[in-house]
Amino acid sequence: MPILRVTDPGNVRGSASVASAMIFELRHRLIFLRHGETDWNAEGRLQGGQDIPLNAKGRAQAEEAGRIVGKILGRDKARIDACDHVCSPLGRARMTMELARGALGLDPKAYRLEDRLREMSFGRWEGMTWPEVQKDDPLAARNRELDKWGLVPPGGESYAMLCDRLAPWLETISTETIAVAHGGVARCLMYMLAGTATERAPMSDIWQGRVLVFEAGKYRWI
């Protein structure tokens, strides 16, 4: 089980919740893959809970991420298969997991879904580009630029709220884990597992086709 260490709640903007005021120290390595590219990614549209499939580039990125996981774990199929393979239920994440597992020579379907790994909801903004949001809702867009961590889009979630959703899942990790999810989830994990400041985490680039490894209170890209 993870160890919970309470941090300075003043570092958590936009939420006074207990879950978001904690850093998780995992006993086991977490290997994270962001889903591959979709057409909405390429167009700069906010996806959130919308189920947009991978495009051709995204499928290639998913396979490459699988090969990187194989390098991390020494191409030991038994060791890789022994990891907990867990995935957001959204189709772009599931397709990424299945293509990555296929690249590893594993059964593409042998993984489990975790609803708490869904992307953060952008509510009414989903499907819009940021310039469209700025035109449609200039006050909320300006407020989000001032507090990207804490601002709640209309009908959606903030990063702080997403951390609250993820916290109970982190408490369940009991073995080396390979997770496929989304950019917002990765940014929350950077804060929760590596102490990245809430001002910096929402601005961090989350690469597709690469692998993000969380271990010993730090993260690294491979």
Active-site residues, by number, are 35, 119
38 CB neighbour count, 10 Å cutoff: 22
Residues 6+ apart with CB under 8 A from 116: 165, 166, 168, 169
Structure tokens of 75?
A: 């191409």
Cα of 55 vs its chain's centroid, Å: 19
CB 213 within 8 A of CB 27: no
Q: How many Cα atoms occupy the beta-carbon half-sphere of 42 within 13 Å? A: 11
- What's the distance, Cα to Cα, between the start and end of the chain in Å? 26
Kindly report the three-state secondary structure assignment for every residue of 193-213.
HHCCCCCCHHHCCCCCCCCEE
Give the DSSP H/E element, type plus range, for residue 145: helix 138-146
Burial of 79 (0-12, 13-18, 19+ CB in 10 A): exposed
Q: Which of 160, 155, 158, 127 lies closest to 144, judged by CA?
A: 158
Residue 180 pairs in a beta bridge with 33, 87
